[in-house]
Structure 1
Amino acid sequence: MRIPAEHFLKLRALGAPAVVLYLAVQGIFRGFKDTRTPVMCLGLGNLSAVLFFPVFMYTFQLGITGAAISTVASQYIVAILMLWKLNEKTVLLQPNIRNLHFGGYLKSGGFLLGRTLAAVLTVTLSTSMAARLGAIPMAAHQICLQVWLSASLLADAQAASGQALIASSFARKDYGRVKLITHVALKTGLATGILLAIILGLSFPSFAKCFTNDSQVLDIVRSGLLFVSASQPLNALAYIFDGLHYGVSDFPYAAISMMIVGALASIFLIYAPPIIGLPGVWSGLTIFMGLRSVAGFMRLSAKNGPWWFLQDSQENEVASS
């Protein structure tokens, strides 16, 4: 299992420049409040991957190599499409270095880099602990993890929309509108999480058969139903809180809280799986997302942070009543 995995990752690394590029361009589109274009480009890229997979893997009999080639090709397709659409919105010229505000960019980017590393390391640790349990538990874990993450990304899309709306209102100091957007984002995010939990709870046991026919793997996958479905509301809120942090440029808190949460979840992930198996891995990931939601709620409740106006408005409402 290790040798094919290393081969796959080495080939996948060729797509890293394209991924970094289209993620940066996706951020630019968010600044334009255009969430439709990135979705269309990503959709076309994913569709191309779906078409490439059977051709390279089975028609050309390349197996894992074909899977990696298909993925990398789709990533470059997404990057090219996004650059093409961006060029329709603005003229892409060579930048004037003197006019670029590198200080602020590097400061914010540094915090976000730390945050991303903390999140990636925590999820990677969960995969590592699952792999140590054997090939069959690892296969079941990957199915559960992919469905879990894919469903959660629906809330991430909502968070991106909330981030763009809040950023413009916060810059104008229109705190009333920021408060309204915040409440709507949290309510719709929670509703999305609950809806996903219901849908996955009803369909996941049957849906899992789309990934494998191995009865041993399917038995373990079905035991992960609670993890995949019941944790969706927590996942949705965690992503929404991330969008709120970014909307008010609260990057230091987003990074530091993620590092602390990641460290706490990692401690659980190190010690629980050897004792209770895969449920320990899934519990660790649920704790990770739950603590992210708690950290987000704590920040919105603080009187001395960028969300101070939420507390002032609540105190004024109490005083007037």
Structure 2
Amino acid sequence: MRARLDGRDREILRLAVPALGALVAEPAFLLVDTALVGHLGAEQLAGVGIGTTVIGTVVGLLVFLAYGTTPAVARLLGAGDRPAAIRAGIDGVWLAVVVGAALLVALPLARPVVAAFGAAPEVTEHAATYAGISILGLPAMLVVLAVTGLLRGLQDTRTPLLVAGAGFGANAVLNAVLIYGLDLGIAGSAIGTVLAQWGMAAWLGAIALREARREAVPLGLRLGSLGRTASTGGWLLVRTLSLRVGLVATTVVAAQAGTATLAATQVAFAIFSTLAFALDALAIAGQAMVGRALGADDVAEARAVTRRLQAWGIGFGVVVGVLLLALAWVAGRAFTADPEVLSALPVALALLALAQPIAGFVFVLDGVLIGAGDVRYLAWTGILNVLVYLPLLLLALLPGVDALAVVWAAFSFGYLGARATTLGLRARTGAWLRPGRAR
């Protein structure tokens, strides 16, 4: 039994460690933008905060292109049908292309959307510039998500790591040159990121094409499969929408509290995104391993993987939380020199640090249930969780309170606590364990 557990742990690490690098590279794009733009001034930093919230919301809503594709591919791989697994991934890529092309129509909406946040006029102007340019990279990001989902389902997390690492390096160099070398300011930050995103999409698209040709898988668009893929992703879309409502509401409340609070929240969210994606590496392993186990009709293995992942998630959350707490009073200097923002940040980061074990538990079980295809439950409880969170968040608008502290206490313990409760209750049942090649 001990040997089996050791082997299972090694498999978790084999998938999670490269996924960790790739996932950290994604929000590291945001960290680079935040750090470089932050030294332009608090108004520019706050503008990036709103712009990245808008773009991140769109990409986050469509993350099912990866999270829906991974378990579908993994189940077919577990059932022993690799060509069908790759075909399922190609269907996801086609959906990404169609949705990405449709999103370009939204370009004129960038300014009115960021204006709805109610920030100061100069902050809104910077946000509109950043969001308007960044929209051009959305189709590329969706292709990246879809191909990444295909590769994860095939139990390959190393290739996405390689591509993400190269994209991060290119983004950092391009942003530095465009922001400061060519003096393009916030526009240069957005342009550099868009160029890096299209480079990543071209690279991963070539890899998907190679895999399809190797298995003689047809590449044509199948309308029936496209519809089924979109339908499967519908529940994941609702689940993700509830998450984004929580994040957007946090930004809106912070904006009402003032520019310094909004700028500090942007820095805290940039750090949270990095930590959250790092914890999500274990969730990626869960998606792939649980999907493959259920595809092979091995319910016992799916349960055993879940138990091990819970232990890994809580333990990793403790380690990450201790590190963040140690850095809470100095980390802000990497992002801004504004004294008001720097004085506010430590409380937010300390609260976030204390909640990391909860976050580790939440992200792991979220990945497990996605891998099992239990997306309807995730959708409905996602709505419930945000309904619990919003009244707590609105307490930050009461007169005389420390708005930033209330925002991050509500987020760290109210929202993450609600998610931990609903996910933990589900994991204790067997209703999510549905074996077979189809979910």
TM-score by length of 1: 0.90
Residue 75 of structure 1 is aligned with which of 197, 206, 209? 197
Give secondary structure in 2 for the equivalent of 1:243: helix
- Tell me how far apart the structure 2 counterparts of residues 290 and 74 of structure 1 sit (CA, whole Å): 36
**Contact preservation (8 Å) 1:170, 1:248:** yes
- The answer on 1:178 being equivalent to 2:302 is yes
Q: What is aligned with 1:280?
A: 406
The count of residues paired between Structure 1 and Structure 2 equals 307
What's the RMSD between the two structures over aligned residues? 1.9
Q: Residue 294 of structure 1 aligns with which residue?
A: 421
One-letter code aligned to 1:219: S
Match of 2:269 among 136, 145, 156: 145
> Which amino acid in structure 2 is aligned with residue 240 of structure 1?
V
Q: Report the equivalent of 1:231.
A: 355
In the other structure, the counterpart of 1:198 is: 322
Give the Å deviation of 1:95: 2.1
Q: 5+ residue gaps in structure 2?
A: 1-122
Match of 2:219 among 94, 99, 106: 94
Higher RCO, 1 or 2 (CA under 8 Å, sep at least 6)?
2
Residue 159, structure 1, aligned to residue 267, structure 2? no
Question: In 1, distance between residues paired with 2:131 and 2:178?
Answer: 17
The amino acid across from 2:314 in the alignment is: L
Is residue 2:139 matched to residue 1:13? no
Distance 1:106 1:86 in 2: 20
Question: Which piece of structure 1 moves more, 224-233 or 52-61?
Answer: 224-233
Q: Compute the displacement of 1:93 (Å).
A: 4.5
Q: Deviations over 1:10-30 (max 9, x none)?
A: 111111111111111111111
TM (norm. structure 2) is 0.67
Does residue 117 in structure 1 map to residue 244 in structure 2? no
- Whether contact under 8 Å (1:115, 1:258) holds in the other structure is yes
The 2-side partners of 1:212 and 1:43 are apart by 25
Query: Residue type matched to 1:97 in 2?
Result: R
- Structure 1, unmatched stretches of 5+, are 310-321
- In structure 1, how many angstroms separate the alpha carbons of the residues matched to 2:407 and 2:367? 26
Q: What per-residue deviation string (whole Å, max 9, x for no partner) do you get for residues 200-253 of structure 1?
A: 111232222111122221110112232221111111211111111111110101
**Structure-2 separation of matches of 1:289 and 1:84:** 38
Match of 2:126 in 1: 4
In structure 1, distance between residues paired with 2:257 and 2:221 = 53
Deviation readout 1:259-316 (Å, 9 max, x if unpaired): 111222123223434343112211222221221111110101235x12499xxxxxxx
Report the residue type matching 1:35 in the other structure.
T
Query: Deviation at 1:180?
Result: 1.4
TM-fit CA distance, 1:119:
0.9
Q: What is the SS of the residue equivalent to 2:140?
A: helix
Distance 2:136 2:350 in 1: 36
2:323 and 2:222 mapped to 1: Cα distance? Answer: 50
Does the 8 A contact of 1:273 with 1:279 survive in 2?
Answer: no
